[in-house]
């Protein structure tokens, strides 16, 4: 089994908001779903695998975004109590469709830097994204890939929002980290008949016949 390491220089953050396997802290709304209802998402193994894969990094500090005019341009003021070296307390960001053509109107862009450096074995990178199934309406974290076997600083991520006046509270699930091996791939195309009657006769066929358990300790 491979090991992923999380480092921080803030012992209080490590105590209060340590990263965890994300399967130990699934969305609260899951508990309100009746698991005996065959039409709910808990019976979809691919969705549950995505929801429970990897690790979660929490926001450790209150972050306040405020709309502000910066250099005669509408932008965002970024405030936080995190005074760790290298993190600017004001991160101006302009409304611009040129930054990323996100549908839905002008976006305020900002950068969030977590308190944790992530280290994986040689040849392993990490998918870095917002936990999708939190359905966060206030802001979005842009997904990306970080080569955590070489990257030597804390994990950061770009975010955007149509509401520039928001608060991000300590303890919020901020970043989902999924390590993976950087294998090389070659694509092949095949045209052939594909049909299986298993799904017609076996209830929960994917779970019973194809699914493999994923382990993140």
pLDDT, tens digit, 9 for 90 and up, residues 47-58: 999 999 999 999
65 vs 68: CA distance, rounded Å: 9
The answer to which of 21-25, 144-148, 212-216 has the lowest mean pLDDT is 212-216
CA 12, CA 170: separation in Å to the nearest integer? Answer: 13
Q: What is the CATH number of domain 5-181+196-210?
A: 2.70.40.10
Q: Please report how many Cα atoms fall inside a 13 Å half-sphere around the Cα of residue 181, on the Cβ side.
A: 6
Does the structure show a pLDDT above 70 at 205?
Answer: yes
Per-residue model confidence (pLDDT) at position 42: 86
Residue 118 has pLDDT above 90, yes or no: yes
Higher-pLDDT residue of 212, 106: 212
Give yes or no for residue 129 having a pLDDT over 60: yes
**Residues 191 and 164 sit within 8 Å (Cβ to Cβ):** no
Which pLDDT score, from 0 to 100, does residue 89 have? Answer: 37
pLDDT tens digits along 134-180:
999 888 899 999 999 999 999 988 888 877 778 888 999 999 999 99
Query: Which among 54, 63, 57 has a CA at the least distance from the CA of 14?
Result: 57
pLDDT band at residue 36 under the 50/70/90 scheme: low
User: Any idea what the Cα angle at residue 11 is, between residues 88 and 9, rounded to 5°?
Assistant: 45
Q: What is the pLDDT of residue 82?
A: 60
Instruction: Tell me what pLDDT residue 55 has.
Output: 98
More confident residue, 32 or 200: 32
Q: Which long-range contacts (CB under 8 A, 24 or more apart) does 24-30 make?
A: 25/56, 25/173, 26/51, 26/52, 27/51, 27/131, 27/133, 27/134
- Identify the pLDDT of residue 88: 39
Q: Does the pLDDT value for residue 81 go beyond 70? A: no
With a cut of 90, say whether residue 76 has pLDDT above it: no
What's the average model confidence in pLDDT over 72-77?
Answer: 61
Report pLDDT digits (tens) over 85-98: 333 333 444 445 56
Sequence spans of domains, the chain: 5-181+196-210
User: Does residue 130 surpass a pLDDT of 90?
Assistant: yes
Q: Of 106-110, 117-121, 212-216, where does mean pLDDT reach its minimum?
A: 106-110
Compute, in degrees rounded to 10, the torsion defined by CA atoms 38, 43, 44, 47.
130
């Amino acid at each position: 089994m491979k090991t992923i390491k999380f480092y921080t220089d803030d012992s209080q953050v490590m105590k209060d908001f340590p990263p965890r396997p994300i399967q130990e802290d699934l969305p609260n709304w899951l508990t309100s779903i009746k698991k005996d209802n065959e039409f709910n998402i808990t019976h979809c193994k691919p969705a549950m695998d995505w929801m429970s894969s990897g690790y979660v990094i929490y926001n450790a500090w209150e972050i306040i975004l405020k709309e502000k005019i910066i250099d005669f341009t509408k932008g965002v003021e970024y405030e936080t109590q995190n005074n760790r070296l290298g993190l600017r307390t004001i991160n101006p960001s302009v409304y611009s469709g040129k930054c990323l053509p996100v549908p839905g109107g002008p976006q305020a862009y900002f950068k969030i830097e977590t308190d944790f450096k992530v280290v994986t074995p040689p040849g392993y990178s990490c998918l870095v994204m917002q936990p999708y199934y939190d359905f966060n309406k206030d802001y979005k974290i842009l997904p990306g890939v970080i080569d955590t076997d070489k990257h030597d600083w804390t994990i950061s991520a770009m975010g955007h929002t149509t509401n520039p006046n928001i608060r991000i509270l300590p303890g919020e699930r901020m970043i989902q980290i999924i390590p993976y091996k950087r294998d090389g791939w070659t694509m092949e195309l095949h045209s052939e008949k594909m049909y299986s009657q298993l799904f017609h006769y076996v209830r929960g066929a994917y779970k019973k016949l194809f699914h493999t358990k994923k382990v993140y300790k």
